[in-house]
Amino acid sequence: MIQLPFGLWKSPIQEDFVARRGRLSGLKWDSAVSEERLLLSGSKEGQTFLLEWSAKNNIRDINGNFPVGGTVGYGGGDFDVSNGTIVFSAGKKGLCARTSGRSFIKELSGRNPIATASPAISPDRRFAAFVSSDGENDQIALIRLDEYAWPQLWIHGADFYLQPVWSPRGNRFAWVEWDHPAMAWEASRVMLADVDPESGTLSNIRKVAGDSDAPASQPLFSPDGSKLSFIRGNNESDWEDLVLLDLADGSEQVAVHGQNFALSVPAFSQGDHTYDWFADGRRLAYIKICGTNSTLSILDLADNSEHERNLPGYTNLELLSVSKISGAIAVAASGPHHSQQVLRISEQDVSVVFRLDPDDFPLDWISMPLPLSWQAANDATVHGFYYPPVNPNFTWSGLLFLSAFVHVHGGPTGKADFRLNPEIQYFTSRGYGWLEVNYRGSHGYGRTYLNSLNGHWGEYDVEDAIRGADILGKMGLADRSRMVIIGSSAGGFTVLNVLSRFPDAFKAGVSLYGISNLLDLAVDTHKLELHYTDGLVGMLPAAYDRYIARSPIYHTDKIKAPLALFQGEIDPVVPPAQSSTMAEKVKGPVVFRLYPGEGHGFRKPETIKDYLQTVSRFLLDNL
């Protein structure tokens, strides 16, 4: 084993390995067909895909040359499928359809700038409802599939919509809506309407659950249509309930009472689904989210019994769907040793039906996370986990030169999970440590933890990141004087705040499309988050001084540490001027990259390669 200082280790994990990264955004079994078919959507190496899996044909392409992906807000809600009919969102091409087994793709809604997401096909396949937005007005539209016709405005009046769903007979329709200034997880409500299956006319529109005291989401009808299920916040606890509403008599049954686990994630995107019905209408499969880990449970409503499916090595589960033919469960799963994969889980076995990346990475190169926690100034427990440097070919004695990244996730209500992250392994295999900070405000730890950031964004996240770095130093896991703070979006905001308000806390900083001016953000961002700062910081103009105090752009003269800034040129969430103005005003060493064609998050392989190479040089120059 070669003795070489940390940060200088040679690694086989090259930029190409990281640039290949992808993500799954949609997953659903086809219904009412004799052969089991699973559709999945996502993106990889900057390209989107819609694929169909079956035991007979394995994996085949469905979208051809058409792009795939919902374009409302942060996206998601890519497609729906019913008895071989597939409807998907195709970017500027609008809503498109095709039939399984045939290659012709029909453009349904015409090419226009209106964003589309979450198509929902009616049981008789005559209609598709979908969420649409022009950036100012959101609505649910209805389009006919059995003849050519323009979409019609169907449901409107609220500021936002998601998760539309038909009842099995097509005589009822449910959806989620909410209004400014709230975010979805703060005040969403489940709505229900009666539908004339022939004309699509709605009547008897009513709210059945939700609002600010107990937000509700993810409505689904039971297979016989007699019940409507949904996830609802419990205003008497920190957790959520899975509720069944009897549509005949209006009575409610709490099927799952969350106890130290969450049932949903904050709905930034359209396509989240964390539970589903079995065809017998007697059982439900659902995901328990326990901090950085999630598990799969199956509930039998007949006797209220429950059992957990053991999935060794998989610690993060998303996008659950149950086959109404075989009862097999499909879920997007990942873990410390596994990139995101699609699992097919039957009563007999568990198999991988799709991998985003070949699962052939040598285990002795993978750094495994070490859970950590520490106390905040207000005695709250803060959560995180640490990846030590790992490389079987190199070593170094002592802490000298052991630099570490302190990573702040975005959101800010996001969360770092135990999953194989190529970027982390890229740096740990070169001799760097990496700390993930799930600061106060991260989801998965209960409502109190999630809401604790309200009014304190720019304070608690800053404090928790600095204290996390201090813990690494005290535990002897890294050299406290050689740490770099890194984050993107809201995490980049924390990076810039730390460097401008606590200039000696870190040796260097890396911000990816980070927020630098809260005042500008409050009036110049996309619709979904236009009032997000009202809760996180305060209402303007009363909180004006707070906005100034927590906006790094007004305190650039205090930044001493070298800073690297990375920004997408067409970012609709954090305008590029937030980074470019920061680069101009900082007096110390600054590296700035503005990437053409990139939005909020980098997708092009050439961008990701340049970003990694630039950060590597930046670290060697400054640490």
Rounded CA separation 271/163 (Å): 7
Q: What's the pLDDT at 295?
A: 95
Query: Which of 167-181, 249-263, 349-363, 505-519 is predicted with the least confidence, judged by mean pLDDT?
Result: 349-363
Task: Please give the residue that has the higher pLDDT: either 73 or 517.
Answer: 517
Rg (CA), the chain: 24
Q: What's the pLDDT at 484?
A: 97
Q: What's the pLDDT at 401?
A: 64
Spell out the alpha helix ranges (H) of 393-452: 422-428, 447-451
Q: What's the pLDDT at 82?
A: 93
Q: Are residues 347 and 428 in the same domain?
A: no
- Asked if 418 contacts 316 with a C-beta cutoff of 8 angstroms, the reply is yes
Q: Are residues 140 and 40 in the same domain?
A: yes
Q: Are residues 522 and 489 in the same domain?
A: yes
- Asked if 499 contacts 485 with a C-beta cutoff of 8 angstroms, the reply is yes
Rounded CA separation 507/157 (Å): 50
Q: At residue 229, does pLDDT exceed 90? A: yes
Q: Which SS3 state, helix, strand or coil, does residue 91 take?
A: helix
- Asked if 315 contacts 308 with a C-beta cutoff of 8 angstroms, the reply is no
Q: Are residues 290 and 431 in the same domain?
A: no
Rounded CA separation 171/155 (Å): 16
Angle at 217 between CA 121 and CA 42, to 5 degrees: 55
Q: Are residues 461 and 546 in the same domain?
A: yes
> Residue 242 forms beta bridges with which residues?
231, 256
Q: Are residues 129 and 205 in the same domain?
A: yes
The parent domain of residue 285 ranges over 22-355
Task: Choose one of 355, 389, 408: the last residue of a domain.
Answer: 355
- Asked if 576 contacts 567 with a C-beta cutoff of 8 angstroms, the reply is yes
Chain segment 6-31, per-residue pLDDT in tens: 788 899 888 988 888 889 999 999 98
Phi, psi torsion values for 3, nearest 5 degrees? -85, 120
Q: Which SS3 state, helix, strand or coil, does residue 528 take?
A: helix
Q: Are residues 351 and 365 in the same domain?
A: no
Structure token digits, residue 361: 């990475």
Share of the chain above pLDDT 70, in %: 98
Q: What's the pLDDT at 360?
A: 64
Q: Are residues 584 and 478 in the same domain?
A: yes
Q: What's the pLDDT at 524?
A: 81
Task: Choose one of 355, 376, 401: the last residue of a domain.
Answer: 355
Q: Are residues 281 and 402 in the same domain?
A: no
The CATH number of whichever domain residue 63 belongs to comes to 2.120.10.30
Would you tell me the crossing angle of helices 490-501 and 460-474 to the nearest 10 degrees? 70
* Overall average pLDDT of the 467-474 stretch: 95
Chain segment 360-405, per-residue pLDDT in tens: 677 888 999 999 999 999 999 999 999 999 999 988 776 666 889 9
Chain segment 305-321, per-residue pLDDT in tens: 999 999 999 999 999 99
Chain segment 99-154, per-residue pLDDT in tens: 876 778 888 876 667 899 999 999 999 999 999 999 899 999 999 998 777 888 99
Q: What's the pLDDT at 148?
A: 75
Rounded CA separation 86/83 (Å): 8
Rounded CA separation 492/47 (Å): 26
172-178/160-166 β-pairing: antiparallel
Angle at 265 between CA 261 and CA 319, to 5 degrees: 100
Q: At residue 183, does pLDDT exceed 70? A: yes
Which has the closest alpha carbon to 181: 528, 482, 466? 528
* Overall average pLDDT of the 251-263 stretch: 93
* Overall average pLDDT of the 452-473 stretch: 96
Computed over every residue of the chain, the mean pLDDT equals: 92
Q: What's the pLDDT at 487?
A: 96
Q: Are residues 287 and 407 in the same domain?
A: no
Q: Are residues 9 and 44 in the same domain?
A: no
Q: Are residues 302 and 390 in the same domain?
A: no
Rounded CA separation 286/294 (Å): 10
Task: Choose one of 300, 330, 355: the last residue of a domain.
Answer: 355
Q: What's the pLDDT at 250?
A: 94
Q: What's the pLDDT at 193?
A: 98
The CATH number of whichever domain residue 416 belongs to comes to 3.40.50.1820
Structure token digits, residue 117: 């997401």
- Structural domains in the chain (count): 2
Angle at 261 between CA 258 and CA 274, to 5 degrees: 85
Q: At residue 90, does pLDDT exceed 70? A: yes
Q: What's the pLDDT at 174?
A: 98
Chain segment 293-302, per-residue pLDDT in tens: 999 999 999 9
Q: At residue 547, does pLDDT exceed 80? A: yes
